[in-house]
Chain A
Amino acid sequence: MRRTHVSTRLNGDNVDFLCEPRQSLLEVLRDNLGLTGSKEGCNNGNCGACSVILNGRVVNSCCVLAVETEGAEVTTIEGIAEGDRLHPLQQVFLEEAALQCGICTPGFIVASKALLDKEPHPDEARVRHWLANNLCRCTGYDKIVRAVLKASDQMEAKV
């Protein structure tokens, strides 16, 4: 199978890769680039475990062809922490026990970051609405929603 060359910005770095046109961004991240933090839960856009930020918008990377990211800016869960310091969302997810098995956690953190980047002070209803495309089966969402709200408060306090 002929492969296509793609140049993209991934987690702040210029990255070049070869891929088949039929490969999804999720697959290329995981299989070709070794970034396995984005998870496959359904592979058809219904669980959010593969959420990445593409040109400023959170998308399901299973529903993006990797070839589409030519010249694009992509942020994955591996690019959320600021150097060796956890992002406030990551820290608060830990403090608030907002994860159990952890498989949905990268998707929730990426999606939540996209929300707080856009709307720093969402209320509970907004957080629930924004995260409705991210399924979690362990937590009942309670501690996840609280964690996002707490991170929002903390980030505000710092500004």
Chain B
Amino acid sequence: MTTVERPDYKIIGTSPIRPDGAEKVTGAARYAADFKPAGLLYGAILRSPHAHARVIKIDTSEAAKMPGVMAVATHTDLPAAADKVEAIGESAVNLKELSSNILAHDKVLYHGHAVAAVAARSHFEAEAAARAIKVEYELLPPVLDVRDAMREDAPLLDENRHTKVMGGQTSDKPSNIASHNRFEDGDVEKALAESDHVVDREYRTRMVHQGYIEPHSSTAMWNSDDTIQIYTSTQGAFGVRSLTSQVLAVPLSSIRVTPLEIGGGFGGKTVIYLDPVAAVLSRKTGKPVKISMNRTDVFEATGPTSGSYIHIKLGIKDGKIHAVDATMAYEAGAFPGSPVGAGAMTMLSPYDVPNFRLNAYDVVVNKPKVAAYRAPGAPAAAFAIEQAIDEACKALKLDVLNFRDSNSSREGVKMVNGVAHPRIGAEETVQAALASDHWKSPIEGPNRGRGVASGFWFNAGMQSSVIAGVNPDGTVNLIEGSTDIGGTRASLAMQLAETLQIPFEDVRPVVADTDSIPHNDVTGGSRVTFATGLATYEAGMNIRKQMAERAAKLWNCSEDDVDYIDGELHCKKDSTKTLTFKEMAAQQARTGGPITGSASLVARGAGGAFATHIVDVEVDPETGKVEILRYTAVQDVGTAIHRAYVEGQIQGGVVQGIGWALNEEYFYDEEGHLRNSSFLDYRMPTTLDVPYIETIVVEVPNPGHPYGVRGVGEVPIVPPLAAIANAIEDATGHRFTELPISPRRVVEELNQLS
């Protein structure tokens, strides 16, 4: 579905085979754990068995004497880090806290918190030595749930933490509430009082993990000249360089980070855990050191996303959303930095809401520090508001999609942060959902139901750089610094091919290390195809201009008289004078040397992404199991660059959302031990748990990009949680306001078991 006249693209909108494809289907592609330099030592990390404890003493003497052991490290090997905040893509991190997260200082704050590390000749020896490190702990009571942590009498993770409130003030008393922000407009009390109907409900979600299949792995070589090479799995090599340099207190330029292929991240590989530890062990041994997490480490000690508590009062008047009053509290994990702000800022964006008051609390608990996860903060917020809207519609006998259509946000409507939407496709996704085959097909049969929900994600711009060098044979090397997590080599190469009007296969994209390309921000925020795409476009236009200049010289005409049409240079004044791209490329040496286009920019004009999803479910009332019968995801993608990968992003996000809705959760016992840190008991969907995911791609081009690109990767995970909850309500008459809506929860509710 295209809503405006689409330019006559040659390559954009097709689905060519990705340039890095062959090596990924043959096993040749090299991921972080595959890297094995000569003389490699293996690192292992000892982790805390306790959720909250003071570290009294770490005795590494036995471990150091074990066979094969070459070095041992603790926090004393890390310099004191600055107490300052560093931005990393969609989130930010305090360096002192980052350092304490990498190797615990005086306290361990969650089960799995890294305490000490060992390097040995084999991973068996390293693991045995790590187990031989003796740590004396003084146990402290843990606090695991966001609401418990907010109580005045809750155990404190940090006695020196005070709540930051807007305006730079802090609370008098210490607290686990790291910050409290408020977004407000209109008169909420009055608007709720004059509403026809008010929904007043509480919603809860549990901590969940991104679940990328590749565990974190990093290999570091600290060379004798004090330069450091790091080979790692990351969404942002420049972020690894900057954070590692600050944690180790070494010059930024002394570190070279090579991003190897990355086996999934979804936001979770934007921070660092292993890199400085591997570097320190390498410095101590003079050899390269690799540390790879196992799956349990990944669950216990990387960055999942927040569990949350959201209380909503939603007022409807005359068929319109009149007021929203919400309290939102998100678990940050061991250190501040939950995505509650993004949750608050995205929650109401699909709608035009005149009166609102959103109180947002960032709360520390004895669980791992959260990291970004696909549209961080937005899915939990949508779980709450989209269910409240569903409940209100049902109470008022309003059609859930027509209601969303008539309340839809559009260009000029302000978000809660006061920024007005540019041209967006919110209405268009709802209208496409209304027109879909799925919506028009009946849902029949006992215990079956249908639900819908909408969602929004901002998308990011930030910094990107590319270099495009024309080869004498007319191919082009596209050197980029955005790590390719799922097809951006293809989507960038396609944009360059479109810009230069040359075959896609003639563009050779390469992801470079941090010494080989200027700065690029993280692969996150759905930004690469948009922002690095913008840089790629500019680099391409730069090449076109240089070619035109050279043609003008060859033809003794003005540059203005040279046209660039369909990959050919034409002289306006003499139609016999033409040069194809390949011919011009072949003449580089004689016309001034290599033609190189490059661009470095801060991308402005990121276009927000909207989605509306429809789902049919069937519930087995005897077991509580929910089957997804049919799923349709409608999304405004701006312009689909690589059509199949756009669909793939949507399908992947939906299925992560299905897992989050139905089964995924961090399961802690009362002492704060994570009890399900395996792919067996952390139940991500398998092939058998989902149907084909139907996609309806709406294209409302983003005016902030020459090809209309919007980020597509994140918003598909926003609606599923609520859409599924709404469908289950439709099927059973029971509204489930706490995730996951697992068989246990459903069977207990439907059979009144507990």
A/B: CB atoms within 8 Å of each other: yes
Q: Which residues of A contact B26 (CB under 8 A)?
A: 37, 77-78, 80-81, 86, 90
In the bound complex, how far is the Cα of B686 from the Cα of A144, in angstroms? Answer: 12
Contact (A94, B21) CB under 8 Å given A43-B294, A47-B213: yes
Min Cβ gap B103→A in Å is 24
In the bound complex, how far is the Cα of B124 from the Cα of A31, in angstroms? Answer: 13
Task: Check if B381 is an interface residue, CB within 8 A of chain A.
Answer: no
- Tell me if B27 and A144 are in contact (CB < 8 A): no
- Tell me if A143 and B25 are in contact (CB < 8 A): no
Contact (A78, B687) CB under 8 Å given A137-B212, A140-B652: no
- Tell me if A131 and B687 are in contact (CB < 8 A): yes
Q: For B18, B215, B264, B684, which residue has the most chain A Cβ atoms within 10 angstroms?
A: B264
Q: For A76, A91, A102, which residue has the most chain B Cβ atoms within 10 angstroms?
A: A102
In the bound complex, how far is the Cα of B33 from the Cα of A138, in angstroms? Answer: 19
- Tell me if B215 and A41 are in contact (CB < 8 A): yes
In the bound complex, how far is the Cα of B686 from the Cα of A20, in angstroms? Answer: 34
Q: Which of B33, B295, B652 sits near A100, CB closer than 8 Å?
A: B652
Q: Which residues of A contact B265 (CB under 8 A)?
A: 101
Q: Which of B210, B211, B292, B644 sits near A97, CB closer than 8 Å?
A: B644
Q: Which residues of A contact B552 (CB under 8 A)?
A: none
Task: Check if A121 is an interface residue, CB within 8 A of chain B.
Answer: no
- Tell me if B213 and A90 are in contact (CB < 8 A): no
Within 8 A of A (CB), among B191-228: 210-215
**Chain A interface residue count: which class?**
35 or more
In the bound complex, how far is the Cα of B26 from the Cα of A26, in angstroms? Answer: 16
- Tell me if B31 and A145 are in contact (CB < 8 A): no
- Tell me if A94 and B686 are in contact (CB < 8 A): no
- Tell me if B22 and A86 are in contact (CB < 8 A): yes
Min Cβ gap A130→B in Å is 8
Q: Which residues of A contact B266 (CB under 8 A)?
A: 137
- Tell me if A46 and B214 are in contact (CB < 8 A): no
Task: Check if A104 is an interface residue, CB within 8 A of chain B.
Answer: yes
Min Cβ gap A133→B in Å is 8
Contact (A78, B27) CB under 8 Å given A41-B215, A132-B686: yes
Min Cβ gap A147→B in Å is 10
In the bound complex, how far is the Cα of B18 from the Cα of A101, in angstroms? Answer: 12
Per DSSP, are chain B's interface residues mostly helix, strand or loop, or mixed?
A: loop
Q: Which of B17, B33, B261, B294 sits near A95, CB closer than 8 Å?
A: B17
Q: Which residues of A contact B214 (CB under 8 A)?
A: 39, 41, 101, 103
Closest Cβ neighbor of B124 among chain A residues: A22
Task: Check if B518 is an interface residue, CB within 8 A of chain A.
Answer: no
Task: Check if B693 is an interface residue, CB within 8 A of chain A.
Answer: yes
Q: Which residues of A contact B687 (CB under 8 A)?
A: 127-129, 131-132, 134, 141, 144-145
In the bound complex, how far is the Cα of B214 from the Cα of A41, in angstroms? Answer: 5
Q: For A36, A97, A127, which residue has the most chain B Cβ atoms within 10 angstroms?
A: A97
In the bound complex, how far is the Cα of B325 from the Cα of A107, in angstroms? Answer: 48
Task: Check if B189 is an interface residue, CB within 8 A of chain A.
Answer: no
Q: Which of A31, A40, A138 sits near B652, CB closer than 8 Å?
A: A138
Task: Check if A28 is an interface residue, CB within 8 A of chain B.
Answer: no
Task: Check if B34 is an interface residue, CB within 8 A of chain A.
Answer: yes
Within 8 A of A (CB), among B673-697: 678-680, 684-688, 690, 692-693
Q: Which of B17, B212, B264, B651 sits near A140, CB closer than 8 Å?
A: B651
Min Cβ gap B54→A in Å is 32
- Tell me if A138 and B27 are in contact (CB < 8 A): no
Total chain B interface residues with beta-carbon distance under 8 A: 59
- Tell me if A99 and B213 are in contact (CB < 8 A): no
Q: Which of B124, B648, B679 sits near A138, CB closer than 8 Å?
A: B648
Q: Which of A43, A80, A81, A143 sits near B651, CB closer than 8 Å?
A: A143
Min Cβ gap A119→B in Å is 16
Task: Check if B656 is an interface residue, CB within 8 A of chain A.
Answer: yes
Within 8 A of A (CB), among B238-280: 261-266
Task: Check if A66 is an interface residue, CB within 8 A of chain B.
Answer: no
- Tell me if A139 and B679 are in contact (CB < 8 A): no
In the bound complex, how far is the Cα of B664 from the Cα of A22, in angstroms? Answer: 33
Closest Cβ neighbor of B691 among chain A residues: A142
In the bound complex, how far is the Cα of B490 from the Cα of A99, in angstroms? Answer: 13
Report the number of A-B residue pairs with Cβ-Cβ less than 8 Å. Answer: 180
- Tell me if A101 and B648 are in contact (CB < 8 A): no
Min Cβ gap A19→B in Å is 12
- Tell me if A94 and B22 are in contact (CB < 8 A): yes
- Tell me if A47 and B679 are in contact (CB < 8 A): yes
Min Cβ gap A39→B in Å is 7
Closest Cβ neighbor of A134 among chain B residues: B687
Task: Check if B588 is an interface residue, CB within 8 A of chain A.
Answer: no
Closest Cβ neighbor of A142 among chain B residues: B651
Q: Hey, what's the 0/1 contact readout for B659-681 against A, CB within 8 Å counting as 1?
A: 00000000000000000001110
Q: Which of A41, A78, A103, A136 sits near B295, CB closer than 8 Å?
A: A41
- Tell me if B690 and A140 are in contact (CB < 8 A): yes
In the bound complex, how far is the Cα of B645 from the Cα of A90, in angstroms? Answer: 17
- Tell me if B680 and A46 are in contact (CB < 8 A): yes
Min Cβ gap A69→B in Å is 18
In the bound complex, how far is the Cα of B685 from the Cα of A94, in angstroms? Answer: 23
Task: Check if A61 is an interface residue, CB within 8 A of chain B.
Answer: no
Task: Check if B24 is an interface residue, CB within 8 A of chain A.
Answer: yes
Q: Hey, what's the 0/1 contact readout for B620-658 against A, CB within 8 Å counting as 1?
A: 000000000000000000000010110111011111100
Q: Which residues of A contact B15 (CB under 8 A)?
A: 97
Contact (A135, B686) CB under 8 Å given A94-B17, A102-B29: yes
Min Cβ gap A20→B in Å is 8
- Tell me if B124 and A36 are in contact (CB < 8 A): no
Q: Hey, what's the 0/1 contact readout for B26-43 against A, CB within 8 Å counting as 1?
A: 111111011010000000
Task: Check if B174 is an interface residue, CB within 8 A of chain A.
Answer: no
Closest Cβ neighbor of A37 among chain B residues: B27
Within 8 A of B (CB), among A72-88: 76-78, 80-81, 86
Min Cβ gap A33→B in Å is 11
Q: Which residues of A contact B24 (CB under 8 A)?
A: 99, 102, 105
Q: Which of A49, A86, A133 sits near B25, CB closer than 8 Å?
A: A86
Q: Which residues of A contact B679 (CB under 8 A)?
A: 41-42, 44, 46-47, 135
Closest Cβ neighbor of A138 among chain B residues: B652
In the bound complex, how far is the Cα of B692 from the Cα of A109, in angstroms? Answer: 19
- Tell me if A138 and B264 are in contact (CB < 8 A): yes
Task: Check if A16 is an interface residue, CB within 8 A of chain B.
Answer: no
In the bound complex, how far is the Cα of B613 from the Cα of A19, in angstroms? Answer: 52
Q: Which residues of A contact B649 (CB under 8 A)?
A: 100
- Tell me if B17 and A42 are in contact (CB < 8 A): no
In the bound complex, how far is the Cα of B642 from the Cα of A134, in angstroms? Answer: 26
Closest Cβ neighbor of A99 among chain B residues: B24
Contact (A44, B692) CB under 8 Å given A77-B26, A81-B26: no
In the bound complex, how far is the Cα of B647 from the Cα of A140, in angstroms? Answer: 10
- Tell me if A101 and B688 are in contact (CB < 8 A): no
In the bound complex, how far is the Cα of B262 from the Cα of A103, in angstroms? Answer: 8
Other A-B pairs beyond A43-B294, A140-B693, 4, CB < 8 Å = A39-B213, A95-B17, A106-B27, A133-B686
26 pairs of residues in contact across A and B, judged by CB atoms under 8 Å: A22-B124, A36-B33, A39-B213, A41-B215, A41-B679, A78-B26, A78-B28, A90-B22, A90-B26, A91-B25, A94-B18, A97-B644, A100-B264, A100-B487, A100-B648, A100-B649, A101-B214, A102-B20, A103-B263, A106-B27, A135-B679, A138-B652, A139-B648, A142-B651, A142-B692, A146-B692
B-contacting residues of A (Cβ < 8 Å)? 20, 22, 30-31, 34-44, 46-47, 49, 76-78, 80-81, 86, 90-91, 93-97, 99-106, 109, 127-129, 131-146
A-contacting residues of B (Cβ < 8 Å)? 15, 17-18, 20-22, 24-31, 33-34, 36, 124, 210-215, 261-266, 292, 294-295, 485-487, 642, 644-645, 647-649, 651-656, 678-680, 684-688, 690, 692-693
